[in-house]
Amino acid sequence: MKYTGMGVGLGVAAGPVKRMAHTVPEPTGGPSTLPKDVEIERAKRALDAVAAELEHRAQRSEGAAAEVLSAQVMMVQDPDVWDEIEASIEEGKSAEWAAHSSFESMAGILKSLGGTQAERAVDLIDIGWRTVATLMGVPYGVIPVSDEPFVLVADDLSPADTAVLDLTQVAALVTSGGSPTAHTAILARARGLVAVVSASGVLDIPDDTIVIVDAATGTVDSEPSAEQVEQVKSQRTESADDAPASPGRTSDGTAIPLLANVGSVADAKEALAKGAEGVGLLRTEFLFLGASEQPSVETQATEYTEIVAALGGQKVTARTLDAGADKPLPFLNLGHEENPALGVRGIRTGIKDESLLKNQLEALVQTQNAGVGELWVMAPMIADAAEAEWFVKHARAAGLNKVGVMIEVPSCALVAEDVYKVVDFVSIGTNDLTQYTMAADRQNGAVAGYQDAWHPAVLRLIGMVGAAATKAKKPLSVCGEAASDPLLALVLVGLGVTSLSMTPNALRDVRSTLVRYSIDEVRELANLAVAAGTAAGAREAVRAGLPRPPR
């Protein structure tokens, strides 16, 4: 029998089914036998413990995983949730019941909104169950153990568990709930995990049944032949080879370099092994965050040079420090801000403390002049052409050869033609561009449903930048989460993007998808997307408009 859902990526895997164990009993709504102040203290300790565990997992993760887990931490600390928990305890309920009912209530509000907002409700429900499990002293979300790689089947899987799955054990993930835009799916893509979500009926598949999970077709086959299983396992073995990947291109030969987002030497080596044609985003803040004092020019230059050298001569695009009130630095006193997402961050930090930027530019010049590879440098959070010109002036004065900016603020996208007059290249950060376009803090779980780069408003802004890039005959890259989505990558190229930078695990799927379509075909797909009324509508219009399947 075949079960149909929605695939994440294009991978295929086979193995025995193992179900996720749910070991937390549902709390009863009866009156508490403990004093109210004791129940309140128990609830506080449990929430603190859950927040600390999620924060620990966030610190062990990178990119999308770190962002999603950090957002969950903020959900745990949401004062509205606490007020509801406290009110329930004051009414005589236990801490277990109060936590369970409060998070379920908040999740219900998101579900009632429908669309992508409803998809985020699972994050709140997960936090509620984690809190209840902590209060009861029982394990939560027990991942099965097996002597061979298996297919993990669950009603849904939390982002926190997806982020730490052992990929030597879990061959694929299948859920009866969820969606391709939910946090769990985003993390599955970032980790290169074969996944099919929203597959109704899969919970009926008995444990140890051998299945084939095909993300490209969104199917789970519970009755495959032995030959089919062996073929899939052979394909996966072959796909793990370290043979050099072909350059990214469309079917008619239009070159679209596929680059990687990295934050360390280890990341750079992994990207190269997985076929990256360079680095489209080197996150230089890895040297700054958590440091008690500003890293010296020499320390910075040494680290940057090592990363560039690890790419074997391929281009590396470094982003200057992207920190500030939203990512505080102990040695940089920016003071308290009510809304740090709209405050001193990105290039604004460098404008406020020019010595910080000056030292970093000097270190990057030393890396450029070391002769170990090609280095481009860009600044984040540019608001307009004047700010772009200010950065370019300082970067050129320092001695940098290739200077660009990131467009993450809608105002900058609207004046992209003017920006291109002063820069060598532009890179779009779709995560922040979406955040600011939709007026939805990407770290606030309550509005996470708005964080969808498929929204036509976001795509139209990208199209404006693409038109400006084409007119200026200068490069345009995308280095946000959107580039990791094979289908959305087609749309981005159709909008004028000339290179894509992504998590290394997404390179294979994006490359194999892009090469199936011509530049004219992806332009037509882009037209379908921007003409839609919603993010979901854009996604479905592109799926329906594909001239042939992606694989």
Each residue's pLDDT expressed in tens, for the chain with a length of 551 residues: 999 988 887 789 999 999 987 778 889 888 898 999 999 999 999 999 999 988 888 777 766 677 677 778 888 888 888 999 999 999 999 999 999 999 988 888 767 655 555 556 777 888 899 999 999 998 887 788 888 999 999 888 877 788 778 888 999 999 988 766 667 777 787 788 899 988 989 999 999 999 999 987 889 999 999 999 999 987 765 444 444 578 999 999 999 999 999 988 988 998 999 999 999 999 998 888 667 788 999 999 999 999 999 998 999 999 999 875 445 566 666 666 666 667 787 888 888 888 899 999 999 999 999 999 999 999 999 999 999 999 999 999 999 999 999 999 999 999 999 999 999 999 999 988 998 999 876 555 456 567 789 999 999 999 999 999 999 999 999 997 789 889 999 999 999 999 999 988 889 889 999 999 999 999 999 999 999 999 889 988 998 999 987 76
Which is catalytic among the residues 22, 56, 183, 394?
Answer: 183
Quote the pLDDT of residue 445: 47
Q: Whose CA is closest to 318, among 391, 379, 393, 401?
A: 379
Q: What CATH superfamily classification does 36-136 receive?
A: PtsI, HPr-binding domain (1.10.274.10)
User: What are phi and psi for residue 248, nearest 5 degrees?
Assistant: -65, 135
Q: Which residue ranges make up each domain of the chain?
A: 2-21+142-229, 36-136, 258-545
CATH of 258-545, one of 3.20.20.60, 1.10.1040.10, 3.30.2310.20, 3.40.47.10: 3.20.20.60
Residue 26 burial (CB count, 10 A): 10
Choice among 100, 394, 455, 479 that is catalytic: 479
**pTM (two decimals):** 0.71
Alpha carbon distance 70, 88 (integer Å): 27
- Answer yes or no: are the C-beta atoms of 172 and 152 closer than 8 Å: yes
Q: What does the pLDDT read at residue 112? A: 66
Burial call 124-137: b when 16+ CB within 10 Å, e when fewer: bbbbbbbbbbbbbe
Q: Which fold has domain 2-21+142-229?
A: Glucose Oxidase; domain 1 (3.50.30)
Asked if 56 is an active-site residue, the reply is: no
Active-site annotation holds for 479: yes
Q: What is the pLDDT of residue 437?
A: 95
Q: Tokens for 313, please give them.
A: 């001569």
